[in-house]
């Protein structure tokens, strides 16, 4: 059973990632209108994931950039650090796009398809970082570009470099003293953007400890969480207002991930220290995640069976539906993983361990979660099924997981290889 993300990645990407941009001439540049549409698309769908920029400031710089190009200037004459952010934003926008439903006027005619276009702009951003000598220069723009680029690593096959790139970004952020404090040098907006971005790196360290050893702890920085306020509120200085837990804001997503990372960090630290019983650690972590689920804003709570799939609120804020599903998937997957740590007790103490096993399997089945990891958990339990009914239910859940992964194969080679791997488990199960 492969249960380590990097082992899956070694199956997916046996060879080193190859950049398609070696010179400035290799970069595909959209038109001004296409560029702005992609930036606006990313503002709606990715701004609250990478948390790297203030869009009002960036859009002003974007206009100045295109004024320069339209007056006869060349991209190679521009600030390479800013261009790294720009092309990273374009790549991330493609990551959240559907080729069948996307307005074709947004895309350059020479692009081929979305996957090749994302690969080009991801490569372009890396090229610009290298031109800017980012490994030897402590600039906030380099942290911003890395914070955006890391979203795309899996999709373009550069997963091995992701951890190294994040480590570089974290090192630069530490050199800069992130998160910034409000004062003469940094406005409220700049300070809050830096706090959001810093927590993106913290989440990467603490929420995914299986991929690498966390290199930061709470002693290293101010632990205050970002505010779920939009840029307009920040620019008005409205940070003292009482924030309702049901206030509609895309930034709740980021705050919830921060809280989730804290729970998971405490759990993994407890396992490493070995000074608390595993079952106690599992119970504390599970209760922490359950409390986060219970405290989700009303509009992010799981829909009850029979509820309408679309509401006026979702029509007004289309990101709600995606956030609702993704957050529940993340939280339930973590509950499943954490409870799965007790699997050694399942066979030794069946009566007392059944609630943990049931919670683990139910969490894994409910949303099939971050599908590959959930599929592995389900596949590993099919041989130990309690009766034919449970075996059939788990098998159906695994098939659903595979079907959902198959839907994203066109834009994500990881999904394609994960499907192949899970199907290999199906063959083994059927051969028994």
Q: Which among 59, 228, 218, 83 is positioned nearest to 148, based on CA atoms? A: 83
CB 265 within 8 A of CB 206: yes
Each residue's pLDDT expressed in tens, for the chain with a length of 432 residues: 334 455 555 555 555 788 999 999 999 999 999 999 999 999 999 999 999 999 999 999 999 999 999 999 999 999 999 999 999 999 999 988 766 556 666 665 555 578 888 999 999 999 999 999 999 999 999 999 999 999 999 888 888 888 899 999 999 999 999 999 988 899 989 999 999 999 999 998 888 755 457 777 776 666 789 989 888 878 777 666 667 777 899 999 999 999 999 998 888 888 888 888 877 888 888 889 889 988 999 999 877 655 555 578 888 999 998 898 888 878 877 877 776 666 554 455 454 444 444 444 444 444 333 566 667 777 777 777 767 777 777 787 778 778 767 765 554 555 666 777 778 877 776 666
- Which helix (H) or strand (E) segment holds residue 329: the answer is helix 319-340
pLDDT reported for residue 236: 78
Tokens of 172: 């630069």
pLDDT the model gives residue 215: 75
Q: Where in the chain are the domains? A: 1-205, 250-302+315-352, 368-432
Helix, strand, or coil (residue 28): coil
Q: Residue 11's pLDDT is what? A: 55
Closest CA to 135 of 160, 167, 161, 162: 167
Q: How far apart are CA 410 and CA 155, in angstroms?
A: 10
DSSP code string of 149-202:
HTTTHHHHT-HHHHHHHHHHHHHHHHHHTSSP-SSSSS-HHHHHHHHHHHHHHH
- Rounded Cα distance between 185 and 56, Å, is 19
Predicted pLDDT at 138: 94
Q: What is the pLDDT of residue 169?
A: 96
Tokens of 323: 């956030």
Q: What is the pLDDT of residue 309?
A: 55
| pTM across the whole model | 0.79
């Amino acid at each position: 059973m492969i249960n380590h993300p990097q082992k899956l990645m070694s199956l997916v990407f046996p060879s080193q990632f190859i950049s398609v941009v070696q010179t400035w001439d290799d970069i595909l540049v959209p038109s001004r209108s296409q560029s702005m549409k992609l930036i606006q698309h990313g503002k709606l769908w990715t701004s609250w994931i990478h948390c790297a920029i203030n869009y009002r400031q960036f859009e002003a710089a974007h206009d100045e950039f295109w004024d320069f190009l339209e007056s006869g200037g060349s991209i190679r004459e521009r600030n390479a650090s800013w261009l790294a952010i720009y092309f990273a934003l374009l790549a991330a926008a493609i990551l959240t796009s559907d080729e069948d439903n996307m307005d074709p006027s947004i895309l350059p005619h020479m692009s081929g398809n979305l996957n090749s276009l994302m690969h080009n702009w991801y490569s372009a951003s890396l090229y610009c970082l290298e031109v800017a000598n980012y490994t030897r220069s402590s600039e906030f723009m380099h942290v911003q570009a890395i914070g955006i680029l890391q979203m795309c690593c899996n999709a373009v096959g550069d997963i091995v470099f992701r951890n190294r790139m994040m480590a570089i970004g974290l090192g630069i952020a530490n050199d800069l003293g992130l998160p910034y404090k409000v004062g003469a040098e940094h406005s409220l907006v700049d300070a809050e953007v830096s706090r959001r971005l810093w927590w993106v790196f913290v989440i990467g360290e603490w929420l995914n400890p299986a991929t690498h050893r966390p290199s930061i702890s709470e002693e290293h920085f101010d632990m205050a969480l970002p505010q779920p306020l939009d840029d307009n509120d920040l620019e008005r200085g409205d940070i003292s207002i009482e924030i309702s837990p049901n206030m509609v804001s895309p930034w709740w997503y980021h705050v919830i991930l921060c809280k989730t990372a804290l729970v998971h960090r405490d759990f993994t630290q407890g396992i490493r220290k070995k000074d608390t019983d595993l079952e106690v650690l599992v119970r504390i972590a599970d209760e922490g995640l359950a409390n986060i689920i219970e405290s989700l804003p009303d509009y992010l709570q799981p829909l009850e069976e029979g509820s309408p799939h679309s509401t006026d609120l979702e029509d007004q804020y289309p990101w709600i539906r995606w956030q609702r599903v993704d957050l529940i998937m993340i939280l339930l997957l973590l509950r499943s993983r954490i409870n799965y740590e007790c699997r050694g007790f399942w066979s030794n103490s069946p009566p007392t361990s059944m609630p943990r096993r049931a919670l683990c399997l139910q969490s894994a089945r409910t949303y099939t979660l971050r599908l590959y990891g959930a599929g592995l958990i389900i596949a590993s339990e099919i041989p130990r099924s309690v009766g034919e009914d449970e075996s059939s239910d788990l098998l159906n859940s695994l098939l659903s997981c595979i079907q959902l992964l198959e839907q994203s194969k066109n834009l994500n080679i990881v999904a394609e290889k994960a499907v192949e791997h899970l199907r290999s488990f199906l063959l083994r199960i059927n051969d028994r």
